[in-house]
Amino acid sequence: MVKPEVKVLADGAAVAREAASVWAQAAEEAAAERGVFRAALSGGKTPKALFFILAGKDYAKLPWDKTEFYWGDERYVPPRHDESNFRAADDLLLSRLEIPPARVHPIPTSGADPSRDAQRYEATLRAEIPDLAEGFPRFDLVLMGLGLDGHTASLFPGSAAARERERWAVAARAANLTPPERITLTAPVFNQARHALFLACGKAKAEVVREVLKGDGSPRPEDLPARLISPRAGKLTFLLDKSAAELL
Ligand code: 6PG
C-alpha cells in the first residue's frame, strides 16, 4: 500500500469541505493538462455532503463542461431506486449542475444479469476512456468509501471481486447488505487512478480505519479490501473526521 496522506478534520462537514477542495484541485489540473476530468464516484451515505457542496455556488466555476462522471460501484437496482448510488449523485449534484447525459456514465442495472451489465460497463469504459496505464483506464479521481468490514466500492472481504486482477468491472454480492447484488470496478482499475480519495466519518469506522491504516498487514488485502487500494502512480488520501480517526 502506497503511503497514504491522512488528514483528520473536525467533523463530517469539514471532511466534505476538504474533499470538495481536493476534487476542485484535481478537476482544474486534469482539465488544464488533458482537457478532461474523469471522476469515479463512490456510493453510500458519506459522499452525499460532498455532492451537495460541489453543486453549490462556491464550485460553480469548476470545469464542469470537461467533467466526465463514472461510478466505482453500484447497487443492482433501478436508477431511481432509493438505494441507487446513481440516484444519490443525480439528485444532489448532476441534476443541480444540469450535466448533460453524454458526460454521465452510470453503471447499467438493467435487472437482467449483473455479470452481463458489468461487461457492458467495461465496454463503456473501453469506448470512453482512451487514457490507459498498464492496460487499465486512468481516472483522475476515484472517490472511495470504507465499509465496517473493510470493503471499499463493492470489493468485499474474501470475494472473487476483491481478487479480480484482469476484468475492469465485475458483479459482486454482499450477503449481509441490502441490496446484496452489486457491480464494482476492480482493484487494478482503482490503482491506476491519479488520485484515490477515501472519505470515512463516524465512531463506528474507528476500528476499521485503524486496521486499514495501522494494521500489521496480517489480514491479506483481499480480506481487508480497502488495503488493496494503492495507486501505482498516483496519490492516496484518507480524509477522516475525529471520530473515525480516534484509534490512530
Ligand atoms: C456502496 C459503497 C460502499 C460504501 C461503504 C461506506 O455502494 O455502498 O460504494 O463501498 O462506500 O459501504 O458506506 P457509508 O458511506 O454509507 O458508510
pLDDT digits (tens, 9 = 90+) for 196-244: 999 999 999 999 999 999 977 677 878 999 999 999 999 999 999 999 9
Question: For ligand 1, is residue 46 a contact (CB within 6 Å)?
Answer: yes
Residues of the chain below pLDDT 50: none
Residue 4 neighbours by CB under 8 Å, 6+ apart: 198, 213, 236, 237, 238
Place of cell 477522516: 240
In sequence order, what are the beta bridge partners of 136? 133
Report the nearest atom of ligand 1 relative to the CA of 202: 17
Which residue owns the Cα nearest ligand 1 atom 11? Answer: 145
Question: For ligand 1, is residue 151 a contact (CB within 6 Å)?
Answer: yes
Output the CA torsion 22→28→33→36 (10° steps): 100
pTM: 0.97
Instruction: Report strand pairing: 136-137 vs 5-9.
Output: unpaired
How many whole angstroms from 40 Cα to the centroid of ligand 1?
14
In sequence order, what are the beta bridge partners of 77? none
User: In 10 A of CB 126, how many CB atoms?
Assistant: 12
Report the nearest atom of ligand 1 relative to the CA of 154: 10
Q: Which amino acid is located at 158 in the chain?
A: G
Is the peptide bond prior to 108 cis by the omega test (within 30 degrees of 0)? no
Of 15, 10, 37, whose CA–CA distance to 146 is shortest? 15
What cell was used for 232? 501505482
Q: Is the dihedral of CA 120, 122, 128, 130 positive or negative?
A: negative
What cell was used for 128? 470512453
Residue 100 neighbours by CB under 8 Å, 6+ apart: none
Half-sphere exposure (Cβ direction) of 43: Cα atoms closer than 13 Å: 27
pLDDT recorded at residue 35: 98
pLDDT recorded at residue 211: 95
Task: List helix spans (H) across 129-243.
Answer: 160-163, 187-190, 206-214
pLDDT recorded at residue 217: 67
Question: For ligand 1, is residue 153 a contact (CB within 6 Å)?
Answer: yes
Place of cell 435487472: 111
Which residue owns the Cα nearest ligand 1 atom 10? Answer: 153
Which residue owns the Cα nearest ligand 1 atom 8? Answer: 44
Q: Is the dihedral of CA 94, 99, 100, 105 positive or negative?
A: negative
Distance CA 155, CA 147 (A): 10
